[in-house]
Chain A
Amino acid sequence: MTERLDGRQDPPALKLAGGSSPGPAETPRTRLRLGPSPAVAIAFLLPAALLLGIWVVYPIVYSIFRSLFDASGSGFVGLGNYMTIFTDQGMLTTIRNNLIWVVVAPIIVTMLGLVFAVLTERIKWATAFKLIVFMPMAVSLMAAGVIFRLVYEENPDKGLANAVLTTFSDTFASSQGYPEARPREGDQSPVADQDGAVVTKQPAQAGQPVLIPIVGVKPEIMPANAQPAQAAGAGAGVSGTVWFDFTQGGGGQSNVVDGTEKGLPGMTVEAVGPDGQVAATATTAENGTFAFDGLAAGTYTVRLPQSNFEASYGGLSWLGPTLITPAIIGAFVWVWAGFAMVLLAAGLAAIPRDALEAARIDGATEWQVFRKITVPLLSPVLLVVFVTMIINTLKVFDLVFIIAPASVQPQANVVALEMWRVAFGGGNNQGLGSALSIFLLILVLPFMIMNIRRFRRGES
């Protein structure tokens, strides 16, 4: 939670949400002539001042100096460390990722929070709903990371995200084929791979059984009803056998139907004429044999179309290099949507109904009311939520560190994490680390100034 409700980041929410305090209209300073001497005030402030001075203010100064020196701290490098930040390939990826975070995450969180806030006004169990959505705020980002690591597991048998995706796709197109099965490599095989389909190299002749040996059939996809393969009888038409050409334990002859090898039932077989048209279709039997009925005489190639080998949809590589940042942003949204929802729901409830009713009486449509009245009135709260999210995305650390597997950490990297890694992991480059922390501070500086301005405006 350091990353989110943390004092270092959350306060802007409180702050920006409105500068004025819930106190009395008159500020106390105008009437406090009766107060104690400044010495007493200093005594009350001393512990806080000491702590803030040593742990927060001094480090800023120290870091600025340290960032101008090299790894060991002995050699002055000027702005060299800052140059590194903007030239190193890995660093540029890191900055790019931060950019994606800042652009995407706050918008999604704010929009989602608004939608939730609107929708909760419509249900009786709003309290329960809000509690559920708000709950992740209490959980550590470490635990949230573990939770989402499980969700994003690639294997659809284990990872929830892909389990849902594959269930959906299976409802529309189920595959009972032979994924990953293929013809044996090399010149001896009578069949070859052609754009995913398997075709015979020689035209099939009536009366001469076609052999279609297939290898790489995984035990788990071998149908239970498969029988030992048999050579097709030398009948009148085109016929043949599709079988798993691998003798358990080795020793079988390649491209020959050996005794124990099994047929591949349920395979769709097509006879393709010289014009490229499918002339006939057949399905293999339990022993792998097939025959084309009523096929006109001629030369045909026999083809096992690609549909036989299509793997069932396996879902997405959430934790792969391309999707890792969106996936982590997903976890971030899960954590933060509740925060946005609660603030925005309070804001919505505070909108005066009279203004809305008046507009409605004047004939404004609901959409116009929403655009022209609700959103402007809600804009201070929207801004609070939005800015808080920007600051949080700039500082995001735990989620990336925990969710991204070691092999995709470089692709998922962000500035806050890179600072820790550079300074304390492996290289111990405190110079570059200091430069990165100053860089991070500069990134949040505009919001710091904005905070102070808003506060002053609110107070006056």
Chain B
Amino acid sequence: MTTATAQVASGLESGTPRRGILSRIVDRLGSGAVQVIMVLLGLFWMVPTLGLLVVSLRTNKVNGAEGWWTIFTKPAELTIQNYANLLGSGFTTSFWNTVMITVPTTVLVIGIAAMAGYAFAWMDFPGRDAGFLVVVGLLIVPIQIALIPIAALYGNTGIFGSIPGVVLFHVAFGLPFAIFLLRNFFVGIPASLLEAARMDGASEWKIFVSVVFPLGKPAIASLGIFQFLWVWNDMLIALVFANTGNQPMTKYLQSQMRQFGSNVDILSSGAFLSLIIPLVLFFAFQRYFVQGMMAGSVK
């Protein structure tokens, strides 16, 4: 089953010319039918997002009267007014808050998890295996469990509502996955490289910085993009821990949700702006994204 790795490495680019049995079953449907079905499915997946884009480019009055698909007959109704209105409103602040929360979180998670991952992979200490099993267990702990206790803790320490509070929460809950991913990757580094460095008397820190970290780049890239997207797209943690002044886009948009009908202008344009950066990242780094998703996995 070594082919799996090759396939994984190729990410979304399915270059395999081979045809499986399943595909032969499908043969009976006729190639033309499959093409048509796939085009329809593709459209089905794309159209909702396109709809959001068109809605965001029309005034509330127009959106209130007709569906976005009428745009094909009346392209003149498009306007960027909704986006212009967002500038200078609370949305702009929330955009920067999202950045201020996401970037430090991603950096911290990578740094801290890489250190721990290296220790779990290449250092010998009592309780190593048990410790790692704990990390594996923590992988799926629901965030909800920490909301009440951490709100109380933040209250006592005075960081409630601040950006650092939100960041630390994200970092902690991002760590199990990050440690897991990086440890599994670091384990694959050829032992000879590390042994050579240790023979040369390099300190562990030096080895970590100049050998392990550079070699771990593909995994770190995967982790980075994942972590970035999770935090960028989070709503629950922000909902509880971010004050109005520090709230990210998701919370800002959520607060407009109760009056969906009359806030479609803000919501559609805001939602679209919020998904542009993840989409760009996704298309630029989709290979890492998929690798991250499957890293060290499919057997």
Contacts and interface: CB of A to CB of B under 8 A. Distances in A.
Is A–B contact present in the complex under a CB 8 A cutoff?
A: yes
Q: How large is the interface on A (under 10, 10 to 19, 20 to 34, 35 or more residues)?
A: 35 or more
Interface in B261-289: 264, 267-268, 271-272, 274-275, 278-279, 281-283, 286, 289
A33 B124 CA distance: 8
B191 A447 contact: no
A436 B27 CA distance: 50
A7 B230 contact: yes
Q: How large is the interface on B (under 10, 10 to 19, 20 to 34, 35 or more residues)?
A: 35 or more
A391 B141 CA distance: 10
B46 A132 contact: yes
Interface in B221-250: 226-227, 229-230, 232-237, 239-240, 250
Q: Which of A7, A397, A420 has the most CB of B within 10 A?
A: A7
B126 A38 contact: yes
Nearest to A142: B250
A345 B23 CA distance: 12
**Chain B contact residues: over half helix, strand or loop, or mixed?**
helix
A189 to B, nearest CB: 35
B188 A22 contact: yes
Nearest to B256: A146
Nearest to A148: B48
A194 interface: no
B101 interface: no
Interface in A211-256: none
A98 to B, nearest CB: 13
Contacts of B275: 138-140, 143
Interface in A7-42: 7-18, 20-24, 26-29, 31-36, 38, 40-42
Given A21-B187, A35-B123, A374-B21, A8 B139 contact: yes
A456 interface: yes
A348 B208 CA distance: 37
B12 A130 contact: yes
A62 interface: yes
Nearest to B179: A48
A195 B299 CA distance: 64
Contact of B20 (A6, A35, A160, A374): A374
B84 interface: no
A59 B118 CA distance: 27
Given A52-B138, A350-B3, A416-B142, 17 more contacts: A2-B236, A5-B229, A7-B173, A7-B176, A15-B180, A21-B296, A26-B191, A34-B198, A48-B112, A63-B145, A128-B42, A129-B42, A146-B52, A146-B271, A346-B298, A352-B3, A440-B145
